[in-house]
């Protein structure tokens, strides 16, 4: 090979690298491991974790322990899908392209929107994307977000805001939900209003009223929604939202210590040319047969460069595919049942905790799969003692809300049983 | 092939759910779903067959050679997939208490340390979700750094090369900076004279890929770094091409202050049909205080998430980044250790060998040794036979290869950007070279064959203009337009037989 190239050594291949920047010593890394040694090393690291099959978990707050059907793993292990990249060459990539087209359809069906992209990074970055779209669609530079929206979503849009030239305004919750009148006032001159349904506390927002409040101020209503809730909760498109976004993890992805997952981004047709990311469209081949391609690419960085609607390139296609498989496995009936089951189990857990003498933080509110409960002591203390009984009872809300230092956010998915809930009650009641 | 929705039968489903004996909770009427989402309704066997058929209409590294330039399509070791699915990683919640996630934090800390060593810098954040988000994060760090020095208003411009990935200028705009573009000189390096005209006290920094997207190492990198550092500006390294130089030359030693590393390229996270990726950034010590929170730190024998970083830019995505990607990339690095240098050496050897095998048949815009990839031009084929880079790419499909990146970088007309990676055997490179040489001959002998390619894929050449014009971006159910003709079935069957 060297002779064909016309050099005498591998070293010579690097002759264009100036001497001053050549790395002359060996990399200070541990010696190579064989596959067997590597497996042992990583399995040892994994064993230092206590996964949620070893400790009964009621943690949620954005990442949820929903059941992932085996068929998801089966599809994701197909090497033709797993080891392909972005389908720039559509004739090589009809499988991924058609899957994304189907995913886009499923997301539009769930959210009631006209168009979905092929995925964003996660539920936080799609919120930043929505702000960017809204800014250019409205020419306004204020973004309103409810305080009952996931704190990480709020943190991320604040990180992006200086570069985007945006001001972020938060609207406080009133007893666990947002007051539409207050939101309407804040929305004056705003590009968009972001709210979460169900919100971070698990409470059901008066979402149609919040969207109406945004629309009254001619700000784009952006709903941050949980896909697994959309078999029972109304689609944002049905109550006046311009965009619907969210964390896709609930549908098809393991918890995986928070990644990789996918964010979904869907919008009304009005915003299609300002959408970030890949979009797949239907077309014909030279023989007149149906096929799929990446489309509307003049939005994208590889064509439009500094005038692009986003810099996103690599996205989360494989995780979005997992979402498509899971939702297809469930079907409309299954999705509704998962939603009803989560909701009923969460309500059951609340009633059992009340019987045991605990108080809900927002007792007046309807909830979906999460709720906030007062522990009667610091939430950290409650977590500590519950964990001694092998139960992780939830997320300490005091980490984000100063006045809720005694409160836990408890998530109940369809994977928790009534017997599990008994263990939760025992762990928290003492 | 039918869409999954076209296979639906009302009432079918993939599987059953458990039923619990608890009172049924109801959604308040005003929030209740009106009409159900039209999700597919299939039994599990049909579901599996649908996605299996989709996979047969796709091409991955597992299928064959995939020399997509700038994307580093190397083989993905399967042990990494298995390890990412170990329950102790897969079923971990990010809000668990630190005593129950020590293994995960240790893995992340060890990966950070390895990336710091490979990049020649001082601190690392794994948080960014992909290379382009690493870029944006890097620019946010620059903004925070200059704000901290009271120079935020003064520094408003970022310089990028005309060979840069499109993500660089797009990131500059998203970060709120102005863009200045530096030209490429006759040897394929940054035009230093042009650079000197552009850089001044208003410059915040440079974004550069080195080796560049031309596959060439910039011979003036030390001088370039000096130009920026002399005016107090910073250098950002787009790590898309790091696979060329692991253990050979480190970005930090070249003078870069911020680096992103594409874990899905250099460190073999599977590309997944478009993602996920991972885009950690490594930085010089002066920039460490501004890194995203939380930081993963070691305190004695314990590992810890540190949120107490008052100068931090904040969070760029949820939690601590795509952990499953970290498992795969950490495993990949541990399987090489210091031999990462050999990985890069073979990547560069393979690229130069392939270039030597096919250079006679195509134009070589910059006659130098390549690094891990090289760029050819089909300019002469276009001029002499009316055959474009696109035609060459489509014809390669008939030979069983994924085409290279085409029409990029923009400075080369009819560009074909070829990156073989280190995991390809010489026989594969030879087969690909023979195909490229055969295609150059076909361009002369039978140009129509090329213009109508591909001939051996499940679909013929697809009409991208029509797609953009129609903008059909979801299935329309009963209103879905009938786009295709009705002759699909025989060919699908033929294709299936051929594949089987």
Domain containing residue A392: CATH number: 3.90.1150.10
Q: How many Å lie between the alpha carbon of B300 and the closest alpha carbon of chain A?
A: 16
Closest chain B C-alpha to A231 CA, distance in angstroms:
6
- Residue B328 sits in the same domain as residue B346: no
B328 and B387: one domain?
A: no
User: B431 to each of B288, B390, B401, B428, B435, how far by Cα in Å?
Assistant: 47, 20, 10, 5, 6
Best interface-test mutation with B: which of A20, A35, A59, A83 has the largest number of B CBs within 10 A? Answer: A83
Contacts 24+ apart (CB under 8 A), B20-25: B20/A341, B20/A344, B20/A345, B20/A417, B20/A418, B21/A418, B22/A344, B22/A345, B22/A347, B22/A348, B22/A418, B23/A344, B23/A347, B23/A348, B23/A351, B24/A340, B24/A344, B25/A340, B25/A343, B25/A344, B25/A346, B25/A347, B25/A348
Single pTM value for the model: 0.97
CB contact under 8 A, A335 and B61: no
Contacts of B117 in chain A (CB under 8 A): 27-29
From A283, A192, A168, A181, select the one nearest A240 (Cα to Cα): A192
Going by C-beta distance under 8 Å and a sequence separation of 6 or more, which residues neighbour residue A86?
A: A278, A294, A313, A314, A317, B71, B271, B273, B274, B275
CA distance B395 to B455: 8
Using 50, 70 and 90 to split pLDDT, how confident is the model at B490? very low
| H/E segment holding residue A99 | helix A94-111
Task: Please indicate, yes or no, whether residues B334 and B346 belong to a single structural domain of this protein.
Answer: no
On whether both A127 and A276 belong to a single domain, the answer is: yes
A262 and A169 within one domain:
yes
Residues B204, B158, single domain; the answer is: yes
* CB-CB neighbors (< 8 A) of A27 in chain B: 117-118, 246-247, 337-338, 340-341
Contact status, residue B247 vs residue B278, Cβ threshold 8 Å: no
Contacts of B478 in chain A (CB under 8 A): none
Tell me the angle at which helices A125-138 and A151-164 cross, rounded to the nearest 10 degrees.
Answer: 40
Number of domains in chain B: 3
Does one domain contain both A150 and A295?
yes
Co-location of A309 and A337 in the same domain:
no
Q: What is the pLDDT of residues B370-428, one digit of tens each?
A: 999 999 999 999 999 999 999 999 999 999 999 999 999 999 999 999 999 999 999 99
Assess contact for A151 and B307: CB atoms under 8 A.
Answer: no
Verify whether the Cβ–Cβ distance B1 to A308 is below 8 Å: no
- The pair of three-digit structure tokens given for residue A206, joined into one six-digit string: 């008066």
> Does residue B35 form part of some domain?
no
Distance between CA atoms of B249 and B243, rounded to whole angstroms?
11
pLDDT surpasses 70 at B497:
no
pLDDT at B482: 82
Does B163 reach chain A within 8 Å, measured CB to CB? no
What average pLDDT does range B210-218 have in this prediction?
A: 98
Whether A318 and A357 share a structural domain? no
Q: With an 8 Å Cβ cutoff, is B488 touching chain A?
A: yes
How far B385 CA lies from chain A's nearest CA (Å)?
Answer: 21
pLDDT at B484: 66
Decide if B47 is inside a domain: no
- Assigned domain for A17 exists: no
CATH number reported for the structural domain that contains residue B402 in this entry? 3.90.1150.10
Q: Tell me whether residue A25 is in a domain.
A: no
Domain match, A299 and A380 both: no
Mean pLDDT, chain B, rounded, equals 96
Q: Is A32 a domain residue?
A: no
Last residue of a domain, one of A299, A324, A349: A324
Paired residues of B238 in beta bridges: B260
Residues of B within 8 A of A99 (CB-CB) are 51, 54, 273
Contact residues, chain B, for A294 at CB < 8 Å: 464
Q: What span, in angstroms and rounded, lies between the C-alpha atoms of B164 and B325?
A: 26
Last residue of a domain, one of A271, A290, A324: A324
Taking contacts as CB-CB distances below 8 angstroms, the residues of chain B near A158 are 314
Is the Cβ–Cβ distance between A332 and B41 less than 8 Å? yes
The alpha carbon of residue B27 is apart from the nearest alpha carbon of chain A, in Å, by: 7
Closest CA to A328 of B17, B56, B44: B44
Q: Are residues B177 and B194 in the same domain?
A: yes
Q: Do A163 and B136 touch (CB under 8 A)?
A: yes
> Do A229 and A344 sit in the same domain of this protein?
no
Rounded Cα distance between B55 and B44, Å, is 17
User: Which pLDDT tens digits describe chain A residue by residue (430 residues)?
Assistant: 999 999 999 999 999 999 999 999 999 999 999 999 999 999 999 999 999 989 999 999 999 999 999 999 999 999 999 999 999 999 999 999 999 999 999 999 999 999 999 999 999 999 999 999 999 999 999 999 999 999 999 999 999 999 999 999 999 999 999 999 999 999 999 999 999 999 999 999 999 999 999 999 999 999 999 999 999 999 999 999 999 999 999 999 999 999 999 999 999 999 999 999 999 999 999 999 999 999 999 898 888 899 888 999 999 999 999 999 999 999 999 999 999 999 999 999 999 999 999 999 999 999 999 999 999 999 999 999 999 999 999 999 999 999 999 999 999 999 999 999 999 999 999 6
Same domain, B331 and B349: no
A304 within 8 A of A166, measured Cβ to Cβ = no
Domain-embedded: residue A43: no
Give yes or no: residues B378 and B265 share one domain.
no
Residue among A2, A38, A329 minimizing CB distance to B79? A38
Q: Is B185 a domain residue?
A: yes
Query: Do residue A171 and residue A287 come from a single domain?
Result: yes
Residues A169 and A251 in one domain: yes
In the block, residue with structure tokens 């024998």: B301
**How far, in Å, CA of B247 to CA of B409, rounded?**
26
Query: Contacts of residue B272 in chain A, CB cutoff 8 Å?
Result: 81-82, 84, 316-319, 321
Q: Which two tokens stand for residue B314?
A: 């904040």
Minimum CA–CA partner of A158 in chain B? B314
Residue B299 in contact with partner chain A when CB distance is under 8 A: no
Say if CB A245 and CB A223 are below 8 A apart: yes
| Closest C-alpha among A115, A313, A274, A334 to residue B17 | A334
In a domain, B190, yes or no: yes
Substitution target in A28, A51, A411 with the highest count of B β-carbons within 10 Å is A51
Q: Which of A91, A115, A272 sits opposite B397 (nearest CB)?
A: A91
With respect to residue A51, please indicate whether it lies within any of the assigned structural domains: no
> Where residue B485 falls among pLDDT bands split at 50, 70, 90?
low
Q: Is the peptide bond preceding residue A162 cis, with omega within 30 degrees of 0?
A: no
* Assigned domain for B156 exists: yes
Sign of CA dihedral A398, A402, A403, A405: positive
Cβ atoms of A66 and A413 closer than 8 Å:
yes
Residues 6+ positions from B127 with CB-CB distance below 8 Å? B137, B280, B292, B315, B316, B317, B320, B321
**B444 to chain A nearest CA, in Å?**
23
In whole angstroms, give the CA distance from residue B4 to residue B1. 9
% of chain B residues with pLDDT over 70: 96
What CATH number is associated with residue B221? 3.40.640.10
Whether the pLDDT of residue B135 is over 80: the answer is: yes
Query: Using an 8 Å Cβ cutoff, are B21 and A338 in contact?
Result: no
B139–A163: do the CB atoms touch at under 8 Å? yes
**A162 located within any domain:** yes
Question: Do A102 and B5 make contact, defined as CB atoms within 8 angstroms?
Answer: yes
Say yes or no: B447 and B325 in one domain.
Answer: no
CA distance B13 to chain A (A): 6
The number of C-beta contacts closer than 8 angstroms across A and B is 690
| Burial of B87: CB neighbours in 10 Å, binned 0-12, 13-18, 19+ | middle
Residue of B nearest to A103 (CA): B474
DSSP state of A275: -
CATH number at residue A142: 3.40.640.10
Interface of B with A in 192-251 (CB under 8 A): 216-217, 219-222, 245-250
Measured between beta carbons, which residues in chain B are less than 8 angstroms from residue A366?
27-28, 31
Answer with the one of B338, B372, B391 that is the final residue of a domain. B338
B127 and B171 inside one domain: yes
Q: Are residues A63 and A85 in the same domain?
A: no
How many CA atoms does the CB half-sphere of B207 hold within 13 Å? 36
Q: Identify all chain A residues contacting B466, using CB atoms and an 8 Å cutoff.
A: 283-284
| A243: nearest Cα among A255, A225, A261, A258 | A225
In a domain, B151, yes or no: yes
- Do A285 and A343 fall within a single domain? no
**Distance (Å) from the C-alpha of residue B10 to the closest C-alpha of chain A?**
10
State whether B298 and B364 are in the same domain.
Answer: no
Q: Helix, strand, coil: what percent of chain A each, to 5? A: 45, 15, 40
Instruction: Give contacts of A159 with chain B, Cβ < 8 Å.
Output: 140, 292, 313-316
For chain A, say whether B105 makes contact (Cβ under 8 Å). Answer: no
Q: Does residue B238 sit in the same domain as residue B374?
A: no
Final residue of a structural domain among B338, B361, B377: B338
Nearest-CA distance A11 → chain B (Å): 8
Q: What angle do CA A274, B474, A103 make, to 5 degrees?
A: 95
Chain B residues with CB-CB distance to A321 below 8 A: 272-273
**Chain mean position to CA A75:** 21
Q: Decide: residue A36, CB within 10 A, 0-12 exposed, 13-18 middle, 19+ buried.
A: exposed
Summarize the confidence of residues B9-31 as an average pLDDT.
96
Q: Which structure tokens are listed for A162?
A: 């200086």
Distance (Å, whole) CA A366 – CA B27: 8
Search chain B and give the residue with CA nearest A72.
B48
Nearest-by-CA chain B residue for A115: B473
Give me B500's structure tokens: 């089987």
- B315 and B395 in a single domain? The answer is no
Residues of B in contact with A285 (CB under 8 A): 459-463
> Based on the domain organization, do A294 and A272 belong to the same domain?
yes
- Domain of A371, in residue numbers: 58-67+332-429
Instruction: Give the CA count within 13 Å in the CB-facing half-sphere of B429.
Output: 25
Residue of A nearest to B339 (CA): A32
Provide the number of structural domains found in chain A. 2
Q: Tell me if B235 is assigned to some domain.
A: yes
Strand duo B178-182 + B157-161: pairing: parallel
Query: What does the alpha-carbon distance between residue A295 and residue B465 come to, in Å, rounded to a whole number?
Result: 8
Give SS3 for B130: coil
* pLDDT in the model for residue B123: 98
Spatial distance between the Cα atoms of B266 and B278, rounded to a whole number of angstroms = 11
- Among chain B residues, the shortest Cα distance to A127 is held by B317
Domain presence at residue B27 = no
Which candidate in A257, A291, A415 is best for mutational testing of the B interface (most B CBs within 10 A)?
A257
User: What tokens appear for A56 in the block?
Assistant: 């009964």
Domain that holds residue B289: 81-338
Which residue, A301, A324, A347, sits at the end of a domain?
A: A324
């Amino acid at each position: 090979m060297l002779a064909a190239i016309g050099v005498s050594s591998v070293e010579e291949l690097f002759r264009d690298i100036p001497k001053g920047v050549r790395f002359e010593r060996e990399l200070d890394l541990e010696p190579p491991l064989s596959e067997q040694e590597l497996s042992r090393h990583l399995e040892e690291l994994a064993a230092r974790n206590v996964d949620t099959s070893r400790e009964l978990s009621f943690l949620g707050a954005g990442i949820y322990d929903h059941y992932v059907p085996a068929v998801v793993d089966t599809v994701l292990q197909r090497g033709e899908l797993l080891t392909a990249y972005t389908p720039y060459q559509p004739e090589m990539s009809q499988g991924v392209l058609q899957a994304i087209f189907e995913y886009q359809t499923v997301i539009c069906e769930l959210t009631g929107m006209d168009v979905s992209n092929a995925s964003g990074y996660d539920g936080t970055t799609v919120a930043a994307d929505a702000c960017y779209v809204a800014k250019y669609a409205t020419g306004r530079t204020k973004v309103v977000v409810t305080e009952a929206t996931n704190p990480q979503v709020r943190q991320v849009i604040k990180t992006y805001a200086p570069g985007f030239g945006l001001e972020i305004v938060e609207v406080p919750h009133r007893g666990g939900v947002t007051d539409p009148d207050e939101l309407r006032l804040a929305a004056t001159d705003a590009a968009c209003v972001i709210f979460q349904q169900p919100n971070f506390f698990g409470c059901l927002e008066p979402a149609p009223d919040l969207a109406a409040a945004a629309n009254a101020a001619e700000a784009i209503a952006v709903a941050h929604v949980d896909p697994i809730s959309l078999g029972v909760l109304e689609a944002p498109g049905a109550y006046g939202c311009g965009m619907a976004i969210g964390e896709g993890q609930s549908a098809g992805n393991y918890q995986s210590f928070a990644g990789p997952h996918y964010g979904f981004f869907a919008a009304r047709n009005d915003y299609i040319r300002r959408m970030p990311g890949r979009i797949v469209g239907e077309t014909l081949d030279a023989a007149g047969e149906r096929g799929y391609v990446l489309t509307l690419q003049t939005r994208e960085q590889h064509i439009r460069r500094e005038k692009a609607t986003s810099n996103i390139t690599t996205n989360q296609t494989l995780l979005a595919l997992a979402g498509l498989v899971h939702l297809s496995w469930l079907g409309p009936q299954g999705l509704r049942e998962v939603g009803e089951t989560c909701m009923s189990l969460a309500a059951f857990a609340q009633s059992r905790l009340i019987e045991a003498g605990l108080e809900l933080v927002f007792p007046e509110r309807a909830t979906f799969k999460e709720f906030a409960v007062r522990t009667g002591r610091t939430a950290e203390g409650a977590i500590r003692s519950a964990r001694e009984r092998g139960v992780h009872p939830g997320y300490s809300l005091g980490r984000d809300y100063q006045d809720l230092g005694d409160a836990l956010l408890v998530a109940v998915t369809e994977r928790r049983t009534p017997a599990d809930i008994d263990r939760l009650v025992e762990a928290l009641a003492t | 092939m039918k869409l999954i929705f076209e296979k639906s039968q009302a009432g079918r489903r993939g599987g059953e759910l458990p039923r619990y004996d608890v009172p049924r909770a109801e959604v308040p009427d005003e929030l209740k779903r009106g009409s159900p989402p039209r999700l597919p309704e299939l039994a599990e066997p049909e579901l599996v067959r649908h996605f299996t058929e989709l996979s047969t209409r796709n091409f991955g590294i597992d299928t064959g050679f995939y020399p997509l330039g700038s994307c580093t399509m190397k083989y993905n070791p399967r042990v990494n997939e298995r390890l990412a699915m170990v329950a102790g990683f897969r079923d971990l919640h990010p809000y668990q208490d630190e005593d129950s996630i020590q293994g995960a934090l240790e893995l992340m800390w060890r990966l950070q340390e390895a990336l710091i060593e490979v990049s020649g810098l001082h601190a690392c954040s794994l948080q960014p979700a992909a290379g382009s988000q690493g870029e944006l994060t890097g620019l946010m760090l620059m903004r925070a750094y200059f704000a901290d020095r009271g120079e935020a208003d003064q520094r408003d411009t970022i310089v990028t090369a005309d060979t840069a990935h499109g993500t660089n200028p797009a990131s500059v705009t998203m970060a709120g900076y102005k863009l200045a573009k530096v030209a490429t000189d006759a040897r394929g390096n940054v035009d230093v004279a042009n650079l000197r005209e552009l850089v001044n006290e208003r410059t915040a920094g440079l974004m550069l890929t080195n080796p560049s997207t031309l596959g060439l190492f910039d011979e003036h990198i030390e001088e370039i770094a000096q130009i920026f550092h002399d005016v107090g500006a910073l250098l950002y390294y787009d790590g898309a091409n790091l696979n060329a130089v692991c253990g050979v030359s480190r970005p930090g030693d070249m003078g870069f202050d911020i680096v992103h590393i594409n874990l899905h390229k250099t460190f073999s996270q599977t590309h997944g049909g478009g993602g996920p990726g991972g885009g950690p950034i490594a930085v010089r010590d002066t920039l460490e205080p501004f890194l995203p929170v939380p930081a993963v730190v070691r305190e004695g024998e314990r590992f810890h998430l540190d949120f107490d970083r008052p100068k931090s830019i904040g969070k760029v995505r949820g939690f601590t980044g795509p952990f499953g990607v970290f498992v795969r990339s950490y495993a990949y690095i541990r399987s090489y250790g210091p031999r990462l240098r050999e990985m890069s050496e073979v990547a560069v050897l393979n690229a130069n060998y392939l270039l030597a095998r096919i250079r006679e048949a195509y134009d070589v815009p910059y006659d130098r040794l390549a690094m891990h990839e090289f760029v050819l031009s089909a300019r002469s084929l276009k001029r002499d036979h009316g055959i474009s880079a696109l035609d060459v790419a489509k014809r390669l499909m008939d030979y069983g290869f994924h085409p290279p990146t085409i029409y990029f970088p923009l400075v080369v007309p009819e560009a074909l950007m070829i990156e073989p990676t280190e995991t390809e055997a010489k026989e594969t490179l030879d087969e690909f070279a023979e195909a490229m040489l055969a295609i150059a001959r076909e361009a002369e002998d039978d140009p129509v064959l090329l213009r109508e390619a591909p001939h051996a894929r499940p679909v013929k050449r697809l009409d991208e203009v029509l797609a953009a014009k129609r903008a059909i971006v979801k299935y329309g159910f009963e209103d879905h337009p009938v786009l295709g003709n009705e002759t699909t079935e025989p060919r699908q069957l033929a294709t299936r037989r051929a594949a089987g």
